[in-house]
Amino acid sequence: MTQTIFEKIISRDIPAHIIYEDDLCIAFLDISPTAKGHTLVVPKQVYINIFDIDNGTFMHITSITKQLCEHICQRLSATGAHIVHNAGTSAEQVVPHFHMHIVPRYDDDEIKFWPSQKQQHDLVALAEVLRRT
């Protein structure tokens, strides 16, 4: 089976700027950063996205993501951050190997990250459909 680009980073077949590694995951700088310190946190075992990762690995990844987010923001004097997971092509996922993005934000960085165009929906009906009992 074809390896993902992240598996090649994990096996050191291609280089990356690795900032953290443990038995279950690895974190490295995004090659095409949206902001200074943009980092990807990736499980060593391949899961495509949130729809197939197991709960234990997901919890470990989210815990490491929180720790690295605090660390990166402190080291780079970032004043905020986005934690992003793109799941599926409709959500613009490009690499089919689970990853969390840590995107640090800085005062006056002028990045437009969140869509300003909003939609209107029947929230009463939606909540009825979505409410879990």
User: With binding defined as CB under 6 A, does residue 123 bind ligand 5GP?
Assistant: no
DSSP letter (8 states) at residue 17: -
Q: Which of 10, 25, 26, 28 binds ligand 5GP (CB under 6 A)?
A: 28
Minimum CB distance to ligand 5GP smaller for 45 or for 49: 49
* Position 86 contacts ligand 5GP (CB under 6 A): yes
Give the integer Cα–Cα distance in Å for 43 and 50.
12
Q: Does residue 57 touch ligand 5GP according to CB under 6 A?
A: no
Instruction: Count the neighbouring beta carbons within 10 Å of the beta carbon of residue 53.
Output: 19
Residue from 3, 7, 20, 30 that binds ligand 5GP (CB under 6 A)? 30
Q: Which of residues 28 and 47 has its CB atom nearest to ligand 5GP in the complex?
A: 28
Alpha-carbon distance of 17 to 105, in angstroms, equals 20
69: nearest Cα among 85, 82, 53:
82
With tokens 């080291």, the residue in question is 75
- Residues assigned a catalytic role: 99
